[in-house]
Structure 1
C-alpha cells in the first residue's frame, strides 16, 4: 500500500475539506498535534524521517532534561494515554531523553488513533500547493497542499493535505562552528573530528573522547551538559582534557540562580561554574572561529581573539553552537519570518533571546504562528527559529491552539493560557549555544 492510498477518495468539490492534515515530525510536539487532532476527530498523517518516532530525542537520550515530568506531558496526549491505563511518572522528577521516549512518547505513538496514521522512515522533501509554486495567487487558499515525501525504498510521492503542521524541529540543523554563520572554512578537512551537540560521552561515544584533548564550542545548556560529562571522563580516563571555547567575553550563559524554578537547570549552571573555577574545564573566551585545519596530531581552530589571530589545537571538537531551522523544504510556501531569528514574524518579539528566558515567554497560539499561507504552521522548536528559549510546554499550547483553529473553534484557538516555570536564562546568545533540554 502506498502513502497515497491512505488519502480519502472523495469528489473534487468535497476534497479539500476532507483531506488529512499532514504533520511533519513525530517528536513530542508532532505527536501532541496528532493527539489534539485525534481528539477533535480530524484526520491526519504523521511523517517522521527517522526510523523510529522521536528519533532526534533518542539520539540525546542519555541527557537529563531540566524540566520535571509535570511540564513535559501534553494535556490532550495525556487524556489519550489515561484511557489506556497510563500513569504519569514522578511529577517532580526530571527524566532523561530516553526516559521521556520510553515512558511517554513511545506509548503515545502506540495509541491506535496515532499509530495507524504515523509513518516512519519518510522524509518530507518539499511542501507546496497542488500545481502552484509560490508566485501563483489566484485560487491559492482553496487549493490543497501537496507534500512531497521520499519513502524508505527511495521512491517519491506527493501527498495531498488540507493543512500542514511543521514540527520537524532543529536538532538536525546545527549552527556553524564559524562565527560568521557560514560553513566553517576547512570543515571538510576536520569533519571526522567534529561531533554534533550532546554526544554520549560516558556511553556510546566514550572511545571518541577518552584520553584526548576535547574542545566544546558553544555557550548554552547543550554545551554545559557535555562539559560536565567530560569532567567525569577526565577523572576516569587519564590523558583526557577539556577546553570550553566561546566567542563572548564571559562564560555565564546558563542559569545558576537560586530563584530558578527548574532546580536541575540552576544546578547545571552552578556545576559548570565550579568546574571552571577549579580548573577542571579550561575556559577560552572571546574566540571567534574563522577556519579549521587538519594537523598531524589533531585539529587546529584558527580565529580572532581580542583583535589578534590565534590558534587552538585539539583532538576532538563538539559543535554545541545551537541550532537553526531547515527551511529548504519550504521554498514554495509563502512564509513571513523575522529577519533576525527566523521565527514567525509575530512570534519573534515574544521570544527574543536578548529579552526573554524560557520562563518569561508569553503564551501564544495560531495568531502568532500564522503565515501568508493559510493552513500552514511551523510549531515547536522550529517555530523559535534560532532562539534557544523553547520549552515543550510552550509547544503543546501552540499545537492546541492551531488544532482548535483547524477545527473552526475560534474561542478555544484564541484563548491561550500557559504557566511556565520561572526564571533563569536559557541563553543570551543564540549564535553561541543552544538550550537543552526542556
Structure 2
C-alpha cells in the first residue's frame, strides 16, 4: 500500500487515430496483457498498469477471453469507449510508486473526423496521440495509401496547433500487422518511403514523434488461443515517460486558450471560444487543415520566419515580372502559410480572390484567414458574398452565424442557424447545428 493519493497524480489523455480495422482495440488489449504485470527493461525498476475501474478491466478481459474462445480477433469497436489506467513502478529498493494516471480513448475509425464534436473534444483534452498505420496494407493496398492521406492531414492539423514551448505533445506512429510481413530491413525501408510525407509534415511544425513496429499474432499455447504482443508495451511506456519527465500538465485545449500567445502558429480571436469554434465542425482543427492544404499542394517546409527565405524571393521576383501569374501567387501564398506569416498570406489570397471571383473555395479560405488575423468584419463580408452566390452554402451560413452571435446579434445568428439547418447535407449535421445554436458558450 502507498499513502500517495490518486488525486495528486498527473492525469493524461491519449488520443488514438486510425481507420476502422487498423487494430487499435487489439493493440490496447495486447498492451494491457503485456503490462498488467511488472514490465522491466533493466534491473533497477519495473512498470505495470492497473485499471482504475472494474468495468474497464472486465471489458479488456472480455476481449482476451473472446480471442481465447474463438481463436480470432474480436469484431470492430462499435462505440467510443474510454479506459482509465494507473501506472505503477517498483523501484530498485522494492517500493511501489504510483507514477501517473492516463485515459485511453478507443475510437471507431469512422468517428475520428473533425466534424464529430465528440472527437473534437477528445482532441482538445488530449496530451499525446497514437497514430495507427496498417503496415501490411500500406505496402500492398494502393487504396489504403489513398486513405492514408487523410491520416496525414489529421495529424498535421493537430500537430500544427501544438506549440512546443507550451506543452510536450508527442505522436507515437504505430505500424500494426507487422507480423504479417516477411522481409526484415528491406520492408522497413519500403514503409519508410511511404511514411515520408507524414514525417515531413511533423517535422515542418517541429512535432515530437517516434515510430513503433508492432505485431500481435494469435498463437496457441496448451490448446488455448491468446495474443502474442510484440512491441506494444513500449508505446505506452515511451508516451508516459515523455509526459512525466517533461512534467507536462497542459492539454491541447489549455495550451490554445486565447491568453496564451502562439507566434508563427495561430492567432485566434480573443473573444471567440476555441471550444465553440471547434464544436461548429468548422473550427481551428479543421481550419488549420483547410488553410495549409487549400493551396493545392502538400509540401510543408521547415517552419521559419526569415524574410530572406529563398522561395519567397524567387516567387516575388517572378511576380514582379508578371503580377497576374496565378500559379506563382498560389505558391507564394502557400509558402507564407508554411512560415506562419498569416498577414502576408492574407494579402496574397486577396489577390487570388480578385482573379477567381467565382470560385467560392478561395473566398472561404480568405474569410478563414481574416478570422485567424482577428478581422471579423472582413470575414463576415466575405461570408456575405459567398451566401449571395450560393444561398445554400452550409459552411458560410454556420460561420457567419457564429460571428453574429459573437458580436451579440443573437437574432440574426439564430436566423442563419435555421437556414444552415435547412440546407445541412446530412441529418447528423442538422443535429449539430441545432446543438450549436443552443450552446451559447
> Shorter-chain TM-score: which interval?
under 0.3
Which structure dedicates a bigger proportion of its chain to strand? 1
**Could you state the TM-score of these two structures normalised by the residue count of structure 1?**
0.24
Which structure dedicates a bigger proportion of its chain to helix? 2
**Could you state the TM-score of these two structures normalised by the residue count of structure 2?**
0.24
